[in-house]
Structure 1
Amino acid sequence: MAAFRGPKVWLWRWRRNPLRRRSDALEAWVVLVAWAVTVLGGVFTGLAATQAVEHGLAQERAEWRSVAARLTEDARDEGATESGGDLVWAKVRWTAADGSSRAGQARVFAGTVAGTSVTVWTDPDGRLVTRPATASQARLRASLVGVLVGVSAAGVPFVCGRLLRGRLERRRMEQWDQEWERIGPLWGRKTS
């Protein structure tokens, strides 16, 4: 059974009280600042990360282009199933925007024969890239990154505030021990 602690008094560290110590007021300020920085820092950092990721993915959608390429070898997979639905790496050749011939590897369906036309994605320099994320995929990725970054950023001031409160608590306990060593022996005396 829990001990009765009396009615809960809101903002007790902020009220004038002869029993309130300076460490109580300091702890109140630590809690207030830690929570404010935790909440505001987490929200603003998460929103900034979300916007940065969305902007980067939108830029990729705008700059990356699909290009027709030709398979230069048969796409075989030694471990492929009979369905032929597995994607495998195969060599392809395409013409970049500047007119130069390029070669690389792209993912194609297993069993595709050499000379087949496939679609690959390239960046402005003509290098192979993955297919850019759609607008809905970009929103989902940006949201997930924003939440992860926001929670991570909020964790730093939260942990720092907890550590500071723990240090204040240890200091307060040491002060109480010192006072008890001084006052404790007087308990047993009679005052009359």
Structure 2
Amino acid sequence: MAAFRGPKVWLWRWRRNPLRRRSDRLEGWVVLTVWALTVFGGVVAGLLSADSVEAGLARQRAEWRPVTATLTQDAPQPADANGADRVWSKVRWSAPDGSARDGQARVEPASAEGTSVTVWTDTEGRLVTQPASASQARLRATLVGILAGVCVAAVPYVGGRVVRGRLERRRLDEWDEAWERVGPLWERKAW
């Protein structure tokens, strides 16, 4: 059962009051610190994460290049009745240093051996996926930034809730101790 708290009064923990306990002042500082860390930490983590993701995707767009490759075997037919957009098949392409490379890439179904296809490679000539466009990169960076910000902000928030719960239990224990001292004085005594 939650304790009755009465009407909400802003900044009550910092106002002068003879009934204000040390735990009230401590809770005030805990709340202030937790909210500052939650907001500041979440925003900073979100912005840094989004910037990092967007920079990495921009670097991929700048470094990864389309290369013409040749099918070294016939591409298979799609296994399902609906038909797949792309199927895996073996391809050969030339790396930036001129050496021939072999690998598997997604190609049109039922393509014949010797067909030219476009694949994407990194600076060392390894196969990679097509890099994200600028708008896709912005969306990914935004989503990662939001997720990182929420995760980082949750840490001080949850920690603050735990600390406030312990302070509340301690306050209730102090009330019980005080009542044990004062309660017997209020009992009716038969003279």
Instruction: Give me the whole-angstrom Cα distance separating, in 1, the residues matched to 2:172 and 2:32.
Output: 22
- CA RMSD in angstroms comes to 1.8
1:86 aligns with 2:46: no
CA–CA distance in structure 1, aligned partners of residues 20 and 11 of structure 2: 12
Per-residue Cα deviation, 1:68-101 (whole angstroms, up to 9, x for no partner)? 000111111351437x553110000001110000
Amino acid at match of 2:121: T
CA distance in 1, matches of 2:6, 2:164: 23
1:51 partner letter:
D
Match of 1:149?
Answer: 148
**Equivalent residue number for residue 74 of structure 1:** 74
Deviation at 1:6, TM superposition (A): 5.5
What residue identity is the alignment partner of 1:71?
Answer: L
Aligned match of 1:122: 121
Provide the residue aligned with 1:21 in structure 2. 21
Is this contact kept in 2: 1:80–1:86, CA < 8 A?
no
- Give how far 1:111 is off: 1.0
| Counterpart in the other structure of 2:186 | 187
Query: Structure 1: which amino acid aligns with 2:67?
Result: V
Aligned-partner Cα distance in 1 for 2:154–2:10: 26
TM (norm. structure 1) is 0.92
Q: Contact between 1:93 and 1:101, CA under 8 Å: does it hold in 2?
A: yes
Note the residue ranges of structure 1 that are not aligned, 5 or more in a row.
none
Relative distance call for 1:6 and 1:178 in structure 2 (3 A) is: closer
Please give the per-residue CA displacement for 1:115-173, whole angstroms capped at 9, x wherever unaligned: 11000000011000000000000000000000000000000000000001011111111
Distance 2:91 2:160 in 1: 56
Cα distance between partner residues in 2 of 1:87 and 1:22:
68
Q: Which runs of 4+ in 1 moved over 3 A?
A: 4-8
State the secondary structure of the residue aligned to 1:86: coil
Q: Among the aligned pairs, what percent are the same residue?
A: 67
Q: How many residues align?
A: 187
Q: Distance in 2 between matches of 1:143 and 1:5?
A: 40
2:47 pairs with 1:47: yes
Mapped contact 2:89–2:106 kept (Cα < 8 A): yes
TM (norm. structure 2) is 0.93
The CA distance in 2 between the partners of 1:8 and 1:166, in whole Å, is: 19
Q: Which consecutive residues of structure 2, in runs of 5 or more, have no partner in the other structure?
A: none
